[in-house]
Structure 1
């Protein structure tokens, strides 16, 4: 369980059985911006306002700061190990197979559920557009999944306001089909969508900031920093834990390292650059939304603070008095423009979101399939998942499996709850990367580092603490998903991965490099079955 795969072996294996390097620095930066700017600012602005009110401005700052520290740790490792696999690969080289499996398993949760969240967010803008621009009323029960609440530790579904989110299913499967066709084609389409998305946000800022009213920022923190007593996942820090979802796309840049030209130079620059560009937009857009129409949370029937997406929240938003408030909108930015007398531009922004949000779904499914690909390449998952399509040169099987899962989750869960669940896996992976970069500084201090994290003994611990604080400020149900998902992962690992692991079986793609390594094939590890024997075939 604690066996490691050396960095030299990882790099050499990737070089021998690798994905095609087709992404240049501009494409990679656009992939990063495309993955980061999306549901977090277009959709989760409303959920963050429900948790923190205007105080969500601080939530963006907190989440962005934690991501910045984590990005610095990621940059060092991504520049040293420019292969697919992201935090999973780094953990395998530093902390051993078991922890690497747990990190990879958490990343699968992160990316797949994140893609579902964005699909559900896209659905809100799609329905708002066709209803406001075309006057078509989508069937009520087919516009969203049920509202979920917890009865003790048992989730309970309320189907009174919705049964299934049909548009979310359609967009998830459409993006999956595009990814099966190929990486280069996907990146080209994404570049155009990023341009549309940035233009839409720029127009929003230009129209919303001039009508900003300082009175809309008061009370600034109606739920305080950590939420009212007896609540979890509320307040400014709780909103930061949710809005963290808006930044996690930068990790997808490092998962694309194996398909990047000159990764030692381009990956670190594009990681930090894409994060900085997106943070700038986030703060301006949030200020515009709050200042233009206010962002105070709605209250439950008993006057208490309620979680976005919960049954109590849905009931509060169904009241006529709350019909037009920001926190109840499924298309927050378009809704703001309509409320300040720009209905046509609001519809155009809705159209831009409809065109652009699929780029985020694309990058999330892209990242998840690459994690699956590398874990299968290491033997921890069935190697059939690592099959490359003979024509399209993409891991088509795992892409299609992922797409079906994404569509199902998007169909039955609201965007805010999906984002919180995704964050639980993300925060765990970032926490482990922060440990890995410090361990590797001690274990292998002389290895070339094209990018070195500055003040590593400050930056990495701050990233660890930040990730832990945000995790424990997620809603209880979101926190509970990670250990349950982890337990399922452990069962799969000990039932399959522990026995089939290439490192454990002594199956090496290339010799591990060391000064006293013998020439020729590497012998199997002690206790491993002999090559070609029945035990090895089994």
Structure 2
């Protein structure tokens, strides 16, 4: 049967039993964990992208994206509390609805983690280059972005020449070297096994929150109500389009879900941690966005024909360069370090540079955690036989999955070198939304097929919350730009070809091998010789 291969839940749960984690986390600790995981990427990187799509209406976009995250998180929490092991949504799907859909989820998670890491790397590059330029150390524009290359590609594929594309060719760059370098450094750190400690992470969280608090304190007093008019210049489609992009700013909330097994009274504390962290982050986002809009405005930039230009495109890069060259103050939607730019415009340049420094310090940890997540999903798929087992090789000295880490690093570096941050974030969101949709489906299926299974956390009103999550994910997905919408089925088609051409015949579950994952997922499975009369071999702990 096409959907008949499922990984036995009892075998997967053996991992949780071996972990033996103590329930020590309360509602406050979970809320702080969620805030630290969420704040740091999108608000520093995507504010200008959202403004170009929705104008001041991006305030509504933050609310929409936050709501979809909240209902998705409640679904995620039930499975995370039942199956608290590596592999994330891939493992959940494998145990509930089968191998084929699990493969598709794992394949989509590449878009979430690896492409997401590329997006954060480009965002870091924008702030690092801006910081160097602010200090008088001018970084070559030809090596700080790929705007000229993207313009060249558009023209090569038949785009009509325009003044905006011509300007992009003249002043844009050809490759984003800083983004490649930060991906390389993070890849090296993951190979040698260096991870950030809880203390370092706590300091970075404080730096991020302090930077955003300073921004709010300086911009709210100088808000101008006229800057909020018109509030939705691109209409409802623009609001939902911006929400689909801003969704990237909330990725990371699942850190709360996956801590369910370590939580005291998870039925009470997990929803408090989830909703509490999402509420606080949304409030922060709304205040930051309100300060930016009110201080300098956030109306979209239009082309020569009056149409709103696509954020991240070569056309808007050329238009923005022309606006700056004319002596006009750079619009918010044109800035690649939006919060720094706002503070500079309202005469707080030193604080602006400190906010930029905060982003430079904090964003590499986000790149690290996204790439870490990707390598572990790849590793789990390789250990299940769905990817070449060479990818599950462990370094003899560092005891890390070095092969899959290097492969992930190369892919992330290539994407970061040539694509703008907004496009990367949209591609990442398409994979994330598909994974979250499958989690919501899995929750409802498992309620029907295994209703008596112990659930440390139960999604409240599951037959209301899960459909809302599915509808929300679909709504945001179809609000993405057309290229991002097409990326997911195109990427999925490649995945299906690999699955039926390679993975299905080599699957451990398909061959009757039951895999019990290790606690830390750092070693490949070891076959056990079959007992006399046993029909198939098994797998024991490495």
TM range (shorter): 0.7 to 0.9
What residue in structure 2 maps to residue 397 of structure 1?
403
Correspondence list, 1:301-320, <5 A: 301-320=304-323
**Matched residue SS, 2:236:** coil
CA contact (8 A) 1:115 1:361 kept: yes
Equivalence for 2:200: 189
1:135: which partner in 2?
A: 136
Could you list the per-position Cα deviations for residues 168-223 of structure 1 after superposition, in whole angstroms to 9, with x for gaps in the alignment? 11111112222334375455433322221111111111111111111111110111
Partner of 1:9: 11
Aligned partner of residue 505 in structure 1, secondary structure: coil
Structure 2 equivalent of residue 229 of structure 1: none
Question: Counterpart in 2 of 1:333?
Answer: 339
Q: Deviations over 1:465-493 (max 9, x none)?
A: 11111111111111111111111111111
SS in 1 for 2:483: helix
CA deviation after TM superposition for structure 1 residue 127, in Å:
1.1
Superposed counterparts of 1:51-450, under 5 Å? 51-132=53-134, 134-146=135-147, 148=150, 160=170, 161-182=172-193, 185=196, 187-226=198-237, 235-252=238-255, 254=257, 261=262, 265=266, 270-320=273-323, 321=326, 323-450=329-456
Contact 1:222 1:296 in 2 (8 A): yes
Mapped contact 1:31–1:191 kept (Cα < 8 A):
no
Q: Which is worse superposed, 245-254 or 326-335? A: 245-254
Alpha-carbon separation, structure 1, partners of 2:158 and 2:409: 24
2:494 to 484, 488, 494: 488
* Contact 1:421/1:478 (<8 A) preserved: yes
Deviates most, 4-13 or 98-107: 4-13
- Cα contact 2:177–2:417 (8 A) shared by 1: yes
Distance of aligned partners of 1:84 and 1:294 in 2 relative to their CA distance in 1, 3 Å threshold: same
Distance 2:321 2:179 in 1: 22
**Cα gap change, 1:145/1:273 in structure 2, threshold over 3 Å: closer, same or farther?**
same
Contact 1:31/1:187 (CA < 8 Å) preserved in 2? no
Q: Deviations over 1:491-530 (max 9, x none)?
A: 111122101111101112469xxxxxxxx969877xxxx6
Aligned to 2:45, which of 33, 43, 46? 43
Deviations 1:354-383 (A, max 9, x none): 001112111211211121121122111122
Asked if 1 retains the 8 angstrom alpha-carbon contact of 2:77 and 2:258, the reply is no
Displacement of 1:386? 2.6
The residue number in structure 2 matching 1:500 is 506
Quickly say closer, same or farther: Cα 1:376–1:182, change in 2 above 3 A. Answer: same
What TM-score does the superposition give when structure 1 sets the normalisation length?
0.87
> Contact 1:373–1:385 (CA<8 Å) still a contact in 2?
yes
Say whether the 8 Å CA contact 1:82–1:263 is kept in structure 2: no
5+ long unaligned stretches in structure 2: 160-164, 518-529
CA deviation vs aligned residue, 1:125-147 (integer Å, no higher than 9, x gap):
11111111x11221121110136
**CA–CA distance in structure 1, aligned partners of residues 456 and 36 of structure 2:** 25
In structure 2, the CA distance between the partners of 1:153 and 1:137, relative to structure 1 (3 Å rule), is: closer
Cα RMSD after superposing both structures: 3.0
Q: Distance in 2 between matches of 1:335 and 1:178?
A: 32
String of CA shifts for 1:301-321, please: whole Å, max 9, x gaps: 211111101122112111235
Q: How many residues align?
A: 507
- Mapped contact 2:292–2:342 kept (Cα < 8 A): yes
Asked if 1:466 corresponds to 2:472, the answer is yes
Greater CA drift, 154-163 or 40-49: 154-163
